[in-house]
Amino acid sequence: MRILVVGAGAIGGYFGGRMLEAGRDVTFLVRPKRAAELASAGLVIKSPNGDVTLKNPPTVQAGKFNEQFDVVLLSCKAFDLDDAIKSFAPAVGPQTSIIPLLNGMLHLDVLDARFGRERVLGGLCAIAATLNEAREVVQLNPMQSLNFGERDGKLSDRVRAIAEVMASGRFGSVASENIVQEMWEKWVFLASLAASTCLMRSSVGDILAAPGGKDFILGVLDECSEVAEAEGHAPSGPFFQRTRGLLTAEGSQITASMFRDIKAGAPVEADHVIGDLIARGDAAKVPVPRLRIAYTHLKVYEKQRG
């Protein structure tokens, strides 16, 4: 099975690297600068689950290949989606499966329109990883998982085949029969965390220590959950209780990656993670006043970045 990993940053570099380490046929679609880094230093992973340096990992660049792959693992940010689609489109053939690891749901519509719904699986990952100054992939804690599956819930032959390959990477891959629900639940958690920590510019623990902080965080969680319910994907009881616990843990230093992007002056996924929830809430007549404030804050930040 030939796998094309779009990007070799923290997410693509980690999951693609683990499969490459296991001897799987993995190629990274990267920009020229990243290709030069990988050719020089290799793909370096620093992880509580084991360090590895993969010398000369296979790479291709946009506009310089015309090969079809069995699987495309898409790990870009939402604001890079259009450019990513242009770069990996030649890799998509009649039997190609695309596994997007983006947050939210809006990207599914974009990918369906371009490649056809039958080629686009559902997918999500849970990992805390970053690129350090040396351009090494650094996993920040042992947590790691990658879920994927048919959006109609069937455990198809292609999903079984992909699952066999991913299992060799030993990163907790799961062939899910409920992937759309899982994607919605992750979105509810992520949007609640992002809206709260970005707007307040601090960690969950600091917000909880402020007057009205707990009420605000739980109010955001309720808004996100109500939008999900209106879309037919109400968060399950166990998920909701876990999420509520994470968002109300006193002293917690947890923040959203979007907040860390703001601190770094980087682009953010305001429209994809928060804006799309507001649009769906409006369509279902679900009031989302806290999300609106957070969204305005993020759009002001984008304006300041130019």
Active-site residue numbers?
186
How many Å apart are CA 32 and CA 135, to the nearest integer?
14
Length of the chain equals 306
Q: Read off the tokens for 220.
A: 């955001």
User: Which has the closest alpha carbon to 189: 156, 144, 228?
Assistant: 228
Question: How far is it, in rounded angstroms, from Cα 260 to Cα 202?
Answer: 10
**Distance set, CA 65 to CA 38, 55, 203 (Å):** 18, 21, 44
Task: Give the chain's largest Cα–Cα span.
Answer: 58
CB distance 8 to 38 below 8 Å? yes
| Tokens 């130019």 belong to residue | 306
- Token readout for 222 is 């309720």
DSSP bridge partners of 173: 146
How would you classify the pairing of strands 59-60 and 122-131? Answer: unpaired
Return the sign of the alpha-carbon dihedral for residues 18, 19, 22, 27.
negative
Degrees (nearest 5) of the Cα angle 86, 81, 173?
Answer: 110
Are the C-beta atoms of residues 187 and 105 closer than 8 Å to each other?
A: yes
